[in-house]
Amino acid sequence: MAKGKLFEFAVIHHPKAKKDIAGNEEVVRSKLITPVQTVLAGSADEVSILAAKSIPDEYMDKLDQVDIVVRSF
């Protein structure tokens, strides 16, 4: 049986900058859409797949604004 390694992952949404009526860019903060989760997995690629599956449907049309971050121990 293969040993699993300990990983953490989170999914972050970085919305595009918005402009107000005067044409000034508004500061739009990034949002954590999947809280930090700890998993045992064989590789970081496997964790990335698990993280991608955890992305809520409402962000599927904004995948260019979504980051998956993975950290191994």
Residue 33: name the closest of 8, 62, 2, 11 by CA: 11
Mean pLDDT of 44-69: 95
**Residue 33 reports pLDDT greater than 70:** yes
Q: Which domain holds residue 12?
A: 5-72
Q: How confident is the model at residue 32 (pLDDT cuts 50, 70, 90)?
A: very high
Mean pLDDT of 37-46: 95
Residue-level pLDDT at 24: 80
Q: What domain count does the chain have? A: 1
Q: What is the pTM of this model?
A: 0.81
**Residue 49 reports pLDDT greater than 90:** yes
